[in-house]
Structure 1
């Protein structure tokens, strides 16, 4: 989770140099290949001289491999090993795979599971086929929390205090764009309360529609969230509401059953009241609930 400069400066246990080194590794995204110091500096908002020292250190430690011909770096096996170790320890990834594969076959949509990475969700499991060619996402891909079905499902599964903190980060990060995103989150909250799933129809990418459902465990990990998406012409809003969303919700409930005692009990659903401006869901979205 991203820490503000103020909180880092007042936390004596926070090692700024380590955080900056990890930010350099995080700058590399799927399909990036190589990055130069200037590109890394732009992505991390750190001075180029600082980046030069960090990439030098990470090279010496074996986490980056220099490519002198291009004056760039790429992730080394030691860095990739961290990611593979994390994936191996995520039991929910392997347990959910047959469920995701089955939903993919039933719907023709891509089905993924993800977890939070700052203001994004990061895929750590993905089931897709040739029918989902329009959804170019794979393990390691990041999508925004505020505008996607997976992200919104995750958001409403958070405890109130964590949700309020995330809202503050949204407002700071998105600025003038936040008002429209806030409305989408409010509608998602109403939909979760009523149906147990959320949808995003072209709110992240015009040509991608998806439904999302969260999964909360009792072992202290997560929450996680699943989505099922496809090109907009295949998953219309009507189909998302009447077919894809209910199927995805049933899949997550089946995963909860397979997990047994690890899955957190689901709260009883109550029919939400129609929210006027300033209603309960609106207050939560404003960080006042």
Structure 2
């Protein structure tokens, strides 16, 4: 995670949005590969405002010729806009409407957001709410602490499940069979044996921390310049996670763990209780 100064426009990140559906599955006749590939193209715009066909191909793992046909089709259908001057594409607002409609139906964000705002303001750190997206956790809400230097994340940004505090918190909130399945997929995609061992140890440590305190911490682990904590949030609407973090040189570790972490745990408890009361 890189840092940005308030007011700067971030450049597109290399988001590792490699397709897991780019190979045809002849054994599943109900699976529509063309549709899956079109959705992969839309997913490539996770934190980028403009992408060319080459960048989309790199992010999805799809052939450039395939990407060209898909972006043309998605533009004709109104899901992408084509910037003639830059020869690049951006999402059309109607695509965002799908996501916001789903978030509105969940209700989690409405309950959590004012509490997240208060914690972000009091701590000066960024507070986020995320949901699993394959092997990542994706921000569906984000409040920064109002500082000049902030974490470079926005709604739609993704963090890795296995190495970030929020990702590990979400993993640890899942049923054990599902967690083990996802951890296996994460390890299958990591070629370095030492890195695989580090991921497993980190997830185990996070599970132990959450069992004892309700939260887990990642201080300079995923990125050396970032410190954060994560809390699982399992509700009738699904599994989520909360996090709080910032540039490591700005984070008072003692206050983060002793003062702000319990407040993040309390936010999760409040959301769970409210949703339990709202839903039959």
Give the TM interval when normalised to the shorter protein.
0.7 to 0.9
Q: Is the 8 A contact 2:22 2:61 kept in 1?
A: no
Number of residue equivalences = 260
Q: Is the 8 A contact 1:109 1:132 kept in 2?
A: no
- Aligned partners of 2:59, 2:22: CA distance in 1, in Å? 17
Query: Which residue matches 2:40?
Result: 23
- Aligned partners of 1:5, 1:74: CA distance in 2, in Å? 22
Cα distance 1:106–1:73, how it changes in 2: closer, same or farther (>3 A)?
A: closer
Residue 208 of structure 2: which of 190, 196, 205 is its match? 190
Residue 58 of structure 1: which of 74, 91, 101 is its match? 74
Pairwise CA distance, 1:199? 0.6
- Aligned partners of 1:14, 1:33: CA distance in 2, in Å? 30
After TM superposition, list the pairs within 5 Å mapping 1:195-274 onto structure 2: 195-218=213-236, 221-261=237-277
Query: Which residue matches 1:277?
Result: none
2:191 is paired with a residue whose SS is helix
Q: Is the 8 A contact 2:123 2:145 kept in 1?
A: no
More strand by share: 2
Residue 143 of structure 1: which of 159, 177, 186 is its match? 159
1:224 is paired with a residue whose SS is strand
Residue 189 of structure 2: which of 173, 189, 192 is its match? 173
Q: Is the 8 A contact 2:243 2:264 kept in 1?
A: yes
Cα distance 1:56–1:123, how it changes in 2: closer, same or farther (>3 A)?
A: same
TM-score, length-scaled by structure 1: 0.82
Pairwise CA distance, 1:197? 0.8
Of structures 1 and 2, the one scoring higher in RCO (CA 8 A, sep 6+) is 2
Pairwise CA distance, 1:54? 0.9
Cα distance 1:149–1:82, how it changes in 2: closer, same or farther (>3 A)?
A: same
**Structure 1 residue 118 and structure 2 residue 170: aligned?**
no
- Aligned partners of 2:139, 2:167: CA distance in 1, in Å? 11
- Aligned partners of 1:75, 1:257: CA distance in 2, in Å? 36
Q: Is the 8 A contact 1:108 1:132 kept in 2?
A: no
- Aligned partners of 2:275, 2:229: CA distance in 1, in Å? 22
Pairwise CA distance, 1:13? 1.7
Gaps of 5+ in 2: 1-16
Q: Is the 8 A contact 1:199 1:240 kept in 2?
A: no
Pairwise CA distance, 1:164? 1.8
Query: Which residue matches 2:107?
Result: 91
How big is each residue's C-alpha offset from its partner over 1:149-188, in whole Å with a ceiling of 9 and x where there is no partner? 1111100011122112211210122221322122111111
TM-score, length-scaled by structure 2: 0.85
- Aligned partners of 1:93, 1:114: CA distance in 2, in Å? 10
Gaps of 5+ in 1: 264-289
Pairwise CA distance, 1:262? 6.1
Pairwise CA distance, 1:12? 2.2
Q: Give the number of the structure whose alpha-carbon radius of gyration is greater.
A: 1
2:189 is paired with a residue whose SS is helix
**Structure 1 residue 14 and structure 2 residue 31: aligned?**
yes
1:199 is paired with a residue whose SS is strand
**Structure 1 residue 75 and structure 2 residue 73: aligned?**
no
